[in-house]
Structure 1
Amino acid sequence: MTPSTSRRNMLRGSAATAVLAAAGPALAGTAHAATAHAAPPPGAPHVGILLYDGYSLLDPTGPAEILARLPGASVTMIAEKRGAVRTDTRDVAVVADRSIAEVDRLDVLLVPGAGNRGTLGAMNNKALLGWIREMHRHSVWTTSVCTGSLILAAAGLLEGKRATTYWASAEYLQSAFGVTYLPQRYVRSGKIITAAGVSAGVDMALYLACLIAGEDTARAIQLAVEYAPDPPFDSGNAANADAQLKQRALELLAASQTASFGSSV
């Protein structure tokens, strides 16, 4: 057994012990049977997260960490084809378990954002846009993170609506697609919820969890994943950033997205 495996088992064992201790000795003997045979709650959501070449890693995985904790929920990574799909830096890949041809209904659709390469590629991909429109027809919620809102807009879903996006894409979202941009962490417009850049997807997912399962559950999920942001710098809001910092931020993004690391994998 490797050290990492031992650590995982220790953590799982500690968590199980804590749960059983809280539930009481009488429940301990039946915990396994109850878990094994429990049916998913009525209306348990099927969440589908679209992956495409060049997406930003936290855009799909941050919300997935939240939404997968909803009682009975299933979260599926979906792409044009099954298999590994690489991020904007090309260093990391996430596996899509289903292709778009295999999915015809979703309760929740989430479209992540990307750098220029990924966003423009998705915005010009007729197959992806058509699939997004079809999922939206029947979805309970259609959501995006970062420049994923540009992809929703390219699919024709945001015209005349309010939305947010990555701060550097706000002007383009408004001028090209007739969207009213709001500089907020997340914006709801009917059944569409858009999130601002990258990390805002976690905030949006908690809001969505509240809409789906109620505030108590959403609060409990937030505690479960210990989401209590306390960054060392107060520089994450574009509204408070000067031109020099914005330029540096965009330069760093561009450099990371054009690096050759992992490109031969």
Structure 2
Amino acid sequence: MKKLKTGLFLYPGMTMLDAYGPLQFLAFVRGLETFTFAESSAPLPCDAGIQLMPDYSFEDCPDIDILLVPGAGNPLEQMQNSRVLEHLRHVGENAQYITSVCSGALILAEAGLLDGYEAATHWAYRETLEKLADVTVVNKRVSVDRNRITGGGVTAGIDFALSLTAELFGPEEAQLLQLMFEYHPKPPFNSGSPETASAEAVKIARHEIASIAPDLMQYAEERSIARTLTA
């Protein structure tokens, strides 16, 4: 069986777990060939302060059947990088599946790859995503809308990987993968979403995230106004 080539886009400042959480699972799916790529093949820093080494650059990257775009605390630099957006659009023209984790959905939206689709993202970026494109933003751990599969925030990347595996190869394959990795989460606290966390925790989290990406919020507001004027 020909393996589907799954390319994970890396970029400076990205959230490492957004990409490497799914990668750890998908690398063990028998029908997939997984690799990473970036604008250049040079090492790049992630938000955890360590260097990531892409397998390929834009120039020598193989064809991609499944595109995965991870998120970052502030993905605006990639959203405004015309070379990145052009490359993602090019990949998207031929990819069987276009996917993201966390705020990676914002990059896909800016590339025009989520127009007319349902999508999930990190809870703190849902309003931002709505302002960027003609996309139906949903409060889901994983959203599957035709060939667009999008995960919520950071750790949702693992659920995303299992959902993608089930979509491609059936639930039995995904269940086996989940068992092999003993993915049986029982977090010590019930504060993983704004619906279950305390009001004070949500307030602090919103403030922290806004301080990371104030320019992103302003950009999204300007994009929303521009879209309204041209509608």
Match of 2:128 in 1: 172
Q: TM-score, normalised by structure 1?
A: 0.76
Superposed structure 1 runs of 4+ greater than 3 Å apart? 250-257
1:165 Cα offset (Å): 0.7
- Is 1:53 matched with 2:9? no
1:243 Cα offset (Å): 3.6
Match of 1:229 in 2: 185
Match of 1:77 in 2: 36
Question: 2 CA distance for matches of 1:252 and 1:169?
Answer: 13
Question: 1 CA distance for matches of 2:31 and 2:119?
Answer: 29
Structure 2: runs of 5+ lacking an equivalent: 214-231
Match of 2:64 in 1: 106
1:83 Cα offset (Å): 2.7
RMSD of aligned alpha carbons: 1.8
Say which structure is richer in helix: 1
1:126 Cα offset (Å): 0.8
Is contact 1:49-1:111 (8 Å) kept?
A: yes
Match of 2:104 in 1: 148
Question: 2 CA distance for matches of 1:198 and 1:102?
Answer: 28
What is the aligned-residue identity percentage? 37
Which amino acid counterpart does residue 54 of structure 1 have in structure 2? G
1:84 Cα offset (Å): 1.7
Match of 1:133 in 2: 89
Is contact 2:6-2:33 (8 Å) kept?
A: yes
Question: 2 CA distance for matches of 1:97 and 1:254?
Answer: 32
Question: 1 CA distance for matches of 2:45 and 2:58?
Answer: 17
SS at match of 1:130: helix
1:100 Cα offset (Å): 1.2
Question: 2 CA distance for matches of 1:164 and 1:254?
Answer: 19
1:254 Cα offset (Å): 7.3
Is contact 1:163-1:193 (8 Å) kept?
A: yes
Structure 1: runs of 5+ lacking an equivalent: 1-41, 258-265
Question: 1 CA distance for matches of 2:211 and 2:46?
Answer: 14
Question: 1 CA distance for matches of 2:112 and 2:38?
Answer: 20
SS at match of 1:158: coil
SS at match of 1:240: coil
Bigger Cα Rg: 1
Which amino acid counterpart does residue 100 of structure 2 have in structure 1? S
Paired residues in the alignment total 213
- Is 1:185 matched with 2:144? no
1:176 Cα offset (Å): 2.7
Question: 1 CA distance for matches of 2:86 and 2:163?
Answer: 27
Is contact 2:17-2:154 (8 Å) kept?
A: yes
1:156 Cα offset (Å): 0.4
1:53 Cα offset (Å): 0.7
1:215 to 159, 171, 177: 171
Question: 2 CA distance for matches of 1:156 and 1:110?
Answer: 15
